[in-house]
Amino acid sequence: MRMRTLTFSFSKLRNYLLVQTMRIIYLSLFQSVFQYGLLVWGGLNECAVRPLKILQRKIIRICLCKNNLVGSTGDNFKLFRVLSFESVYNKVTILYIIQHYETFVDMDNIGKREKLELLMCEYNLLQKSIWSKVY
């Protein structure tokens, strides 16, 4: 299923379901696919990522029954209790580093305090190399 087709599905469902139910459906249908592809999409430039951000904002407005474009999208994310594109990307990046920490450093030759410093160093390097492409 293409992600754009979800817009129509959400617009039909909003007439029958509560916002809490729409949030559960959003997390299961949209956010799961969105987060799965984020490792690939996250490293792309702003022009390639912009349609995904717009689609995410549009679906959230539909779920909240906001027909007009007036208002802050940040408030919509808080009201709907979901993460924005950038926040989801940060979460996925941090989880990836934690899960694959051993591949970044040689764990046998490092003390505990140095391990924590290296983890922060690796995150900063990853953030500068990949995250800078998103902005």
Distance CA 5, CA 47 (A): 21
Please report the pLDDT score of residue 125 as a whole number: 57
Distance CA 122, CA 117 (A): 9
Instruction: Read off the tokens for 94.
Output: 């941090």
pLDDT in tens, the chain (135 residues): 577 888 999 999 999 999 999 999 999 999 988 888 887 776 778 888 899 899 999 999 999 999 887 788 899 999 999 999 888 888 888 888 778 777 766 656 666 666 566 666 656 655 555 444 443
Please report the pLDDT score of residue 134 as a whole number: 44
Distance CA 123, CA 74 (A): 25
